[in-house]
Amino acid sequence: MSKDNIRPPVNMKIASMTDLTRMLVSWSQRERPASMLYFEHEGKHIYGTLISNHGYYEMYGLPLWVHAEGDGPPKGNYISYKNRPKEAIDFVDSLADSEPMTMFLPIIRLAKKLEILDM
């Protein structure tokens, strides 16, 4: 199979980094651990992940590129998410000083945009 035979996933742009992080943290708790991909494209800082919406009608699944634009490059290797006492996300370098009730998503930096993305 050549890359010409691969159809791009459906783009799903999320309103903010907080919304994207919240979605991936909740998805990680039900399905499998999620990671956050990062790359720069046309001067924009793109964060996202590829997921599949299983059981989409008669198909085996609908591939989704779920993403948001960030304000800049990641300032750490993980995004931390807390929802208490107030919802907040932050970039951190390690999990060594993690607090209770904090979830982490690893950030994977790509050298360039994935070829299969139609954006």
- 51 in helix, strand or coil? strand
Q: Which two tokens stand for residue 101?
A: 């009730």
Question: What are the domain boundaries of the chain?
Answer: 3-109
pTM above 0.85, yes or no: yes
pLDDT of residue 27: 81
Cis omega (within 30 of 0) on the bond before 106? Answer: no
pLDDT tens-digit series, residues 68-109: 999 999 999 999 999 888 999 999 998 877 777 889 999 999
pLDDT tens-digit series, residues 3-51: 777 888 889 999 999 999 999 998 877 767 788 999 999 999 999 999 8
Q: Is 60 left (phi over 0), alpha (psi -120 to 50) or beta?
A: alpha
